[in-house]
Homo-oligomer: A and B are copies of this chain.
Amino acid sequence: MRTKFAISQLPARQIGNVQYDHSMENKYYTPKTLGDAIGVSQSSLKRWADRGLLNVERTVGGHRRIVLEEALRFIRESGVSIVKPDLLGLEDYDIDTEGQDLDSADKLYYALHAGDETGVRGLVLNQYLEGRPLHEIFDQDLQPAMTRIGLLWHDDISGITIEHRAHDICMQVLADLRFRLPKVFTKGMAIGCSAPGDSYSMPTALVATALRAEGFEAVNLGPNLPLDALMDECKKVKPVLVWISISHLKKAHILRNDLRDFARFLRDQQGALVIGGSQVSRLRLDKDPFVLIGKNIHELVSISRGLVAERMTGEKTQETKSEE
């Protein structure tokens, strides 16, 4: 094992172009990564390194590189706390992962599986801060993870508790997220719920959160809402968009007709109905021109953008002259 010293220039050793030193299985971190991970500025990190508090190696070009063990030693001995553990790859939910690299969806699954509330929050928040759209995180990470956890259900009785706990954690993180989103509601009102008889609360919460991120003033009415109550509310607030999530379906034929009518009612007051959820296909409403279908949250968000765009142009012509 090669000795590592700070400050003085190390012998030329090309480590810059790879993040891994394959010969030693060492992982290097840049000052930015480590700085973000422990929540200090790069300036401070540089100063500490130059003072010898943190041992760094240097690339040929003079850039600092920090080995994982040294980063950990420094964190432990200096007493600084880790703000974003996942930046260091430290979220080891070692259930059946043998040191392999996990993508964000896998990490989320393991964190949910382990009931690690803080971990889940951190993972989702970081993804969002790194610029990933919420609908993408939801569609590609959160929902698959929950589906996967739902499958445990069949294997073992403990799968039920894991699923319930994961559900609770998701709802908490969603609430946290919804609250932290900038409250700029430029696109009008959106309102939604789960279909009557459907008591799944997560899908509709996901939609509400994603739509808030899109700039809608999204009001979530939660699971299992009678359609006439929803209609009554729509008469009052005139939403641009109404979503209904359908993850559990009892009386398909009744709901189908109700949704048809509801969509037309909304149309009359310049609103649109978007339905989604795992059971939506059973309703066979894909031919109906007034009922929009979002197969996932991304689609729903796309539809919402279309609606707003259309509304803009529609209002512009309406200002001048309204023609049939």
Q: How far is the CA of A318 from the CA of B181 in the complex (A)?
A: 51
Q: How far is the CA of A10 from the CA of B181 in the complex (A)?
A: 9
Judging by beta carbons under 8 Å apart, are B20 and A83 in contact?
no
Contact residue among B25, B27, B174, B225 (Cβ-Cβ distance under 8 Å from A129): B25
Q: How far is the CA of A60 from the CA of B61 in the complex (A)?
A: 27
Residues of chain B with a CB closer than 8 A to A28's CB: 39
Within 8 A of B (CB), among A20-79: 20, 22, 24-25, 27-28, 35-36, 39-41, 44, 48, 53, 57-61, 78-79
- Min Cβ gap A313→B in Å is 31
A115 lies within 8 A of chain B by Cβ: yes
Please classify the interface of chain A as helix (H, G, I), strand (E, B), loop, or mixed, using the class held by over half of its residues: mixed
Task: For the complex, count residues of A whose C-beta is within 8 A of B.
Answer: 70
Q: How far is the CA of A183 from the CA of B193 in the complex (A)?
A: 33
Q: Which positions in A face B, CB cutoff 8 Å?
A: 7, 9-10, 16-17, 20, 22, 24-25, 27-28, 35-36, 39-41, 44, 48, 53, 57-61, 78-81, 83-84, 115, 121, 125, 128-129, 157-158, 160-161, 164-165, 167-168, 171-172, 174-176, 178-183, 193, 199, 201, 205, 219-222, 225-226, 228-230, 232-233, 236
